[in-house]
A = this chain, B = another copy of it.
């Protein structure tokens, strides 16, 4: 599989939905496979909240977050399709974001990086499409926040997208989703090392806050059933406790996962990404989701997972109903999923088959 990774600059900048402007920005982009001569085989993969541009392949210790789905002869077959993935604007894996240097000030953006939205990501991905000389996407797809981008693509650029795959996602976050994200943000903001988002200037990182936030996030990504069967009420061995406050295996696991994440993820990006997720509402300013979808021409594949309690299947159903009301060609599938919300990340025969068939139909 041909893999190319490059930083693409947009010196023309972008005016964000908020009205704020970035005079210029970069996107870190990775592509898999090759664009065919007719340029009809391009697929855009959008990442979820803590993902990045590395969607497939294995390099050193790093495996692409959707490597089970993207690759030669996989569900998204890179022998046939040219797959593009970029780190979202505001991310912390190479694209312009809070840890980047603000070219205006030559200092790290920190809290000065503007809030971006799902709308802005889609707009910047459109700019990327143009820059890559791709006339349209054969398909745009993603899970969770990535699924929101796929949905928004179908709404914003109906003539630039043939198919959209919206997995473990929703047309808007629920009150409980927002509430959970606010707790996570609060734990970051109140970390003594946060310094109102300007921690890099202070030479510190609010790791404790990110860790707590991730521990909470992790609970919402897993299904209760999965957690229960995996950890139950088993006590953690004394020898392998991460600290003495821990009694149960599940606590140790969350502590471990949270700590690891806090060492690689940026706090401002955490806040920005969750705010973008909370803020997205496909029907914003309209009377209903039906209205939002009335210009959609792409074919939709909506997949939900029974074990997902963050964006449960009902959220996907709402999109399906609005699609049907607009006579959009759409399929709505609910899979069991063993991993709760995270199920969209994992290969499963049926899941892979559904994606493959939809891509090739």
Cβ of B190 and Cβ of A208 under 8 Å apart? yes
Cβ of B175 and Cβ of A227 under 8 Å apart? yes
Residue A157 at the chain B interface, CB threshold 8 Å? no
Cβ of B182 and Cβ of A251 under 8 Å apart? yes
> A189's closest neighbor in chain B, by CB?
B245
CA gap between A174 and B189 in the complex, in Å: 29
Copies in the complex: 2
> A234's closest neighbor in chain B, by CB?
B175
Known: A175-B228, A178-B233, A187-B212. A275 touches B254 (CB 8 A): no
Residue A179 at the chain B interface, CB threshold 8 Å? yes
25 cross-chain CB contacts under 8 A: A173-B233, A174-B224, A175-B224, A175-B227, A175-B230, A175-B231, A175-B233, A176-B219, A176-B227, A179-B215, A179-B219, A179-B227, A179-B250, A182-B248, A183-B215, A183-B254, A190-B208, A190-B209, A190-B211, A190-B212, A192-B192, A216-B216, A233-B281, A247-B275, A247-B279
Closest 8 A-B residue pairs measured CB to CB? A190-B208, A192-B192, A182-B251, A175-B227, A175-B228, A183-B216, A176-B224, A183-B215
Report which A residues bind B (CB closer than 8 A): 172-176, 178-180, 182-183, 185-187, 189-192, 208-209, 211-212, 215-216, 219, 224, 227-228, 230-233, 245-248, 250-251, 254-255, 258, 275, 278-279, 281
Please give 14 more A-B residue pairs, beta carbons under 8 A apart, in addition to A175-B228, A176-B228, A233-B281. A175-B224, A175-B230, A175-B231, A175-B232, A175-B233, A178-B233, A182-B246, A182-B254, A183-B212, A183-B215, A183-B254, A186-B258, A190-B191, A212-B212
